[in-house]
Amino acid sequence: MRLFKDFVAKEILFIIFLIAGIVLLILSPQSIKTLPQLVDWETIAILSGFLFITKGIEESGYLEKLVLYFSGKVNTEKMVALTFILLTGFLSMFLTNDIALFIVIPFTIIFFKTIENNLTKLIVLEALAANAGSALTPIGNPQNIFLWKQWDISFFQFIFKLFPLFIVLISILIVFALVMFRKNSIIQNDKNLKKPVDSALFKWSLVLFPLFIVAIETDNTYFFLPFIVVFYLLFFRKIIKKIDYIFIVLFILVFIDMNLLSQLKIVKVFITHFDFLKGFNIYFFSAFLSQITSNVPATILISKFSGNYRAIAYGVNVGGSGLFLASFANIIALRLAKKKGLFFEFHKISILYFLVTLLITSFLFF
């Protein structure tokens, strides 16, 4: 019984999506045999590949060295928060919000081990920063990639159209950080982070990272992922044992749940009776539908009924904050951090941020 309680406490996200999937399957006419068709297996392959590579970097011991260097350069909580937020936002513009979090959050968690200060809420702001930064470019997140193709505009035209939204999102996030974090000094603890450094593991993982990105961009994900797995299996077997495989299953459940939800008759009936002529309506509907189905399925669904891609883009990118399932990046952040109480802390901050950005963006642009 104790083991079961520990599992539920540790895997609360997994339990939520598993129960939701069972309920939705009962309500849906979908056959169990067709469930694999609801999963974006390429995305699962991409996430799996980055899990292996980032775990390799993490286990190499070099992150600890970087953290020790970084901790000697920052003096206050406010400085730490702004540094991490801006770094996450910048990385997410070009590496996508998911990949940015795979880089930043392991670094953040190790940094937490070196200080006495409780900065757990920084994880929440990093997730929001990943969503805000990724909103700017057509390659920043999956919904932007989809909209860019549908919109049929150039790379820089897309940036020009989304730049006003990006400024609003990142500015409000900086205000949140300035209010939430004080100028308290960072207090170093006595924990010794120095562990054996595996130079070969670090260097090879670092080489695999950009190679995997190139493989993704050239549609060779399925070819390169087995290579990554076999590579670690042959040369760094300890990495295979440390992978969070439930995390991969969790994302398979996310795809199944979101697709089952979007197929419900009540959802389809509501959408067909909605007024999609006004940009204001599309914007609000996109933002709120993202809270229920997550912003990628919401983008695909709404684009079937409206060609106002600017309103959709603004809505789904604002809608990436709020509830944890509004964006895959939120789920990744919560899962990677594995911090007790973070689920409720996330919603306390993220829902407020969502409402503030929703209203200000509406006032300024619609």
In tens, the pLDDT along 238-266 reads 899 888 888 788 878 877 887 787 777 77
Closest CA to 97 of 338, 316, 243: 316
Give Cβ neighbours of residue 62 (< 8 Å, ≥ 6 apart). 197, 202
| % of the chain beyond a pLDDT of 90 | 25
Lowest mean pLDDT among 110-114, 244-248, 264-268, 320-324: 264-268
CB atoms within 10 A of CB 238: 12
Secondary structure class of 184 (helix, strand, coil): coil
Greater confidence (327 vs 304) lies with 327
Task: Give the Å distances, CA to CA, from 290 to 75, 134, 296, 345, 360.
Answer: 38, 16, 8, 20, 18
The per-residue pLDDT for range 272-289, each reduced to its tens digit, is 677 666 788 889 989 998
Q: Look at residue 192 and tell me whether its pLDDT is greater than 60.
A: no
The per-residue pLDDT for range 213-230, each reduced to its tens digit, is 788 778 888 999 999 999
Task: Round to whole Å and give the CA distance between 245 and 74.
Answer: 35
User: What is the rounded average pLDDT of the residues 204-212?
Assistant: 88
CA angle at residue 317 from 312 to 318, to 5 degrees?
100
Closest CA to 256 of 50, 49, 32: 32
Secondary structure class of 188 (helix, strand, coil): strand
283: its two tokens: 């914007």
Band of pLDDT at residue 9, cut at 50, 70 and 90: low
Task: Round to whole Å and give the CA distance between 78 and 42.
Answer: 38
pLDDT score of 185: 72
Q: What is the largest CA-CA distance in the chain?
A: 62
**Quick one: how far is CA 81 from the chain centroid?**
18
User: What is the rounded average pLDDT of the residues 23-41?
Assistant: 82
User: What is the rounded average pLDDT of the residues 5-13?
Assistant: 66
62: its two tokens: 């070099």
